[in-house]
Amino acid sequence: MNTADLELPVSVPSTALFTDQYELTMLQAALRGGTAGRRSVFEVFTRRLPEGRRYGVVAGTGRVLDAVENFRFDPEILEFLRTQRVVDETTLDWLADFRFRGDIHGYPEGEVYFPGSPIMRVTGTFAECVVLETVILSILNHDSAVAAAASRMAVAAGGRPLVEMGARRTHELAAVAASRAAYVGGFAKTSDLAAGFRYGIPTSGTSAHAFTLLHDTERDAFQAQVDSLGSDTTLLVDTYDIAEAVRTAVQVAGPELGAVRIDSGDLLLIAHRVRQQLDELGARQTRIVVTSDLDEYAIASLAAAPVDSYGVGTRLVTGSGHPTCSMVYKLVARADSDAPDAPLRPVAKKGLGGKSTIGGAKWAARGRDAEGIAETEVVGGGEVPEHLLDAQLQVPLVRQGAAVAREPLDAARDRHRAALAGLPLSAAQLSRGEPVLPTEHR
C-alpha cells in the first residue's frame, strides 16, 4: 500500500472512508443488479462561479492523485462496514480487493476555470468511479476555494509578498491544505509549520503580543527577541503605543532592524507614520509588515501605503466569503452493458431549479485572440475542432489507476501565474462582475 500523503506530517494508510455512505450502497445495488461493471464517465464541474468572481482556480489536483491511489479498504475499515451493516458481504469482498484502475483527465493544478469547465473527468467501471465522488469533491472544493481567494489577494498585492497565517481560523488539517492552495494561488510563505513540513512551503513567524506581555517592559521583550533571533527579526509594535514601540525597537535592534509588524488600527495611516518615523531614525531598510484582518480589498486599499508585506489569515482560509466551490461530480455517460467494447451513451438528469446536467464526456479548450489573450472557454463533446487541438486544457492525470501527473508544487504555482497572465485585464478587477471568459458549448 502506498503512503497516503494526506497533508499530514505522517503517513496515513487509507482515504477510503472519506466517502458518503450512499456511494457504497449504490455499489452494492449495482453489483447485485449486474450494472456495476458498466463503463462510465463522471465529470467534475461547477454550474457557476461564486457571485461576482471573474475566474476560478483549480487547486488540490496533486492531493487528489494521492487520495485516489490510497483509496483502499483495510481489514479494520471492512470490519466497521460489516458491523454497522453498511453493505453486504458480496460488496465487502469487492471492496477488499479494490483499487481504482481507471483513468482521470483534468485541468492541471493552478489552471483557471469557468462555469461548465470540465475540471476533471473520471473514466472506469461505474463501481470504481462512483466511490470516489466525495473524496475528490472534498479536496477540489476546499482547495480551489482557498486558491481563488489567494489569487485575488496576490493580484491586489501587486508584487508584494503575502504570508498565509490562517491556521488558527480553520480546522487544523484543512489549514495545511489551505497553505498549499494559497501557495498555488500566489502566496509566498506560511506561518503553518505542518505545511512547511509536508509541502516544503517556506515558513515564517517571529512573535505575538503574548511575548511582549510576558516581559516587564516592551524594551525587555524587544531585547530578548533581538538577543535570540538577531536584529533582522520582525518586532511587533502595537501592544501599547506604536510610536514609542518603533523608537524602542530601533534603539534595541539598531537601524538594521528587519521589520516591524502592525496588527491593529488604521493601517494606511499608521504605515505612513511608521515609515516616516523609521526613516527619521535611520532605519530606512526596515520593512513594514501588516496583518490585521486583511482581505483582497484591504490589501488593494494599501497599494499606496509604504507596506512591504501582508499577513493574511481568516479571510484567506475561508475563501474570502466563499469557503467552498460548488463543484459537483456527475455521471455524464455510461455503457448499456458491461461488455468492454459497449459504446458510451450520454446521460443527463433533468432536475429542477437549474440542477440539470449536460450529457456526454467533454473536452475543453481556451480560445485566444491574435495577441494570445484568452477570449472563450470552449467546451464540447465529440471531436475537438482542429483549430483548438493545441488549446486543449485537459491533461492525463491518472492512467489505469497510476498517477502520471505528479509535479512539484512550484509547477502549479507557476502555471497559475501564467494562466492569469493570459486572461483579459479585467480578470484583475476586484469588483463584482461576470466571469471574464464566456463558456461556449459546442
DSSP 8-state assignment for residue 229: H
Residue 314 or 392 with smaller CB distance to a copy of itself: 314
> What does the alpha-carbon distance between residue 162 and residue 310 come to, in Å, rounded to a whole number?
5
Residue 284 or 432 with smaller CB distance to a copy of itself: 432
User: Residue 146 Cβ, how far from a copy of itself at the closest point, in Å?
Assistant: 9
Q: In what order do the strands lie in the sheet with 439-441?
A: 363-368, 374-380, 439-441
Residue 191 or 374 with smaller CB distance to a copy of itself: 191
Residue 273 or 368 with smaller CB distance to a copy of itself: 273
Residue 197 or 297 with smaller CB distance to a copy of itself: 197
The SS3 assignment for 311 reads strand
Spatial neighbors of 211 by CB under 8 A, at least 6 apart, are 221, 224, 225, 236
Grid look-up 483499487 returns 99
User: Residue 360 Cβ, how far from a copy of itself at the closest point, in Å?
Assistant: 12
User: Residue 100 Cβ, how far from a copy of itself at the closest point, in Å?
Assistant: 16
> What does the alpha-carbon distance between residue 246 and residue 261 come to, in Å, rounded to a whole number?
10
User: Distances from the Cα of 119 to the Cαs of 123, 329, 343, in angstroms?
Assistant: 13, 10, 23
Residue 140 or 412 with smaller CB distance to a copy of itself: 140
User: Residue 233 Cβ, how far from a copy of itself at the closest point, in Å?
Assistant: 8
Grid look-up 503575502 returns 162
Q: Which three cell numbers stand for residue 329?
A: 461530480
The string of DSSP letters for 355-371 reads -----S--EEEEEE-TT
User: Residue 353 Cβ, how far from a copy of itself at the closest point, in Å?
Assistant: 5
User: Residue 382 Cβ, how far from a copy of itself at the closest point, in Å?
Assistant: 20
Residue 77 or 419 with smaller CB distance to a copy of itself: 77
DSSP 8-state assignment for residue 388: G
Grid look-up 484543512 returns 174
User: Residue 441 Cβ, how far from a copy of itself at the closest point, in Å?
Assistant: 20
